[in-house]
Amino acid sequence: MGQLFSELRPEHEKFIKKQRMFFVASAPMDTDGHVNLSPKGYDSFRIISPTEVAYLDLTGSGNETSAHLQENGRITLMFCAFEGPPLIMRLFGKGTVILPDSPRWDELVKDFPLLPGARQIITVNVQEVKTSCGWAIPFYSYSKERDTLQKWTLAKDEQELLAYQKENNVVSMDGLPTPLGQKLFPAVGGDNEA
């Protein structure tokens, strides 16, 4: 039933492009630390090549994935078919955080819609693609995107958004610094440069 691939095939890309949401999982090296699993929506995912994908990450109540990637790079993305033939697809790889002032930002951001609150782009070097049946996943019908996050972000000016990020996005739940925190607020997020 399940199959393993070393890169994305055209049929995988076609499946991914039909999905309206995906899930991101990461974890710290400390086995007592929190494993993070986040759903992602909007038109925020892009396939760069058969071995590299990226998603536009928006300001949220935490920044766990970013901290975990800086510490160890491990990341898994999962797509599920909620309509049509059943399928689950996981992309296993190493992730990198691309901040707005980094050299790669301009190269990548042009491929995404301009969404309010964009704080970073997460790129993933895909090392394995695993498909499985998805036979137990229920059918769900897509209605529309929620606009709550965009409205919340647009109601804040730049200073208010930065203050929110300083309070909520500088370190992980386990105290790991995030690249965003280190860049914007080095005194709070710590300095991890050697």
Map residue 125 onto helix, strand or coil: strand
What b/e sequence results for 16-39 when a residue is b if at least 16 CB atoms lie within 10 Å of its CB, and e otherwise? beebebbebbbbbeeeebeebeee
Which pLDDT score, from 0 to 100, does residue 2 have? 87
Closest CA to 40 of 27, 58, 52: 58
96 contacts: CB under 8 Å, gap ≥ 6 = 69, 73, 122, 123, 124, 125
pLDDT above 70 (res 9): yes
Domain locations in the chain as residue ranges:
3-189
Give the span between the Cα atoms of 188 and 167, in whole angstroms.
9
> How is residue 107 written in tokens?
């190269």
pTM of the model: 0.93
pLDDT in tens, 138-153: 999 999 999 999 999 9
How far apart CA 119 and CA 77 sit, in angstroms, is 19
At 150, give phi and psi (nearest 5°): -65, -40
86-129: pLDDT as tens digits: 999 999 999 999 999 999 999 999 999 999 999 999 999 999 99
Which numeric CATH code is attached to 3-189? Answer: 2.30.110.10
CB 117 within 8 A of CB 59: yes
| Distance (Å, whole) CA 194 – CA 128 | 31
pLDDT at 193: 40
Tokens of 17: 């492009």
pLDDT at 188: 55
Beta strand spans in the chain (E):
3-5, 22-26, 36-40, 45-49, 52-58, 74-80, 88-98, 118-132
Q: Give the pLDDT confidence of 30-69 residue by residue, as tens digits.
A: 999 999 999 999 999 999 999 999 999 999 999 999 999 9
